[in-house]
Amino acid sequence: MADQNEELGTITRGQTHCTATLTRQFDHNVEAVWQMLTDPARFVDWLAPGEIELRCGGVARLDFQDSGIVIDSTVTECDPGRVLAYSWSSPGEPDRPLRFELESNDDGCRLTLTLGVPQGEDVARSCAGWEAHLMMLIAAIEGVPIKFPFERFVATRAAYGALLKN
């Protein structure tokens, strides 16, 4: 993977949400990365067990069994091989929009992850969690799945915290 996969994402503050944007370059084509994002047999290796129905209005359910967190949401955008979006929340929780966008390029493809975090929530924690899961995605697509990289989470949470103070 290229060096840009170690850079922090960007955070923009809005009136109701902060928006974090993280990008990764993959040495794999769009189809391979799309499969990692949408196939339950593949996304279990980097995210959590669950299901995602690839249609607007479809179910987006992920069960992080170790932490007790369950995402029970609805797909809000689906353009196969290009865009997948749903809320990173369950009923009764604040909306936390999550969007994956893939773009083919000469080196493989670029993934842009955009996450909305409600004002008052820990944006640095959310970004660090996604940094860790993206590291897991990179390992899983290479065929060497890893456990949640807690050290990466801790380091990037501190780095995002410092970024937010500037």
Give, for 110, the enclosing helix (H) or strand (E).
strand 108-118
Q: Dump pLDDT digits (tens) for 99-141.
A: 999 999 999 999 999 999 999 999 999 999 999 999 999 999 9
Q: What is the DSSP string of 135-166?
A: HHHHHHHTT------HHHHHHHHHHHHHHHH-
Other Cβ atoms closer than 10 A to 87: 20
- Name the residue type at position 162: A
What is the separation of C-alpha 9 from the centre of its chain, rounded to a whole number of angstroms?
A: 12
Q: Which amino acid is at 3?
A: D
pLDDT over 70 (residue 69): yes
Mean pLDDT of 135-151: 96
- The pLDDT value recorded for residue 166 is 73
Look up the CATH number of domain 3-15+23-121.
Answer: 3.30.530.20
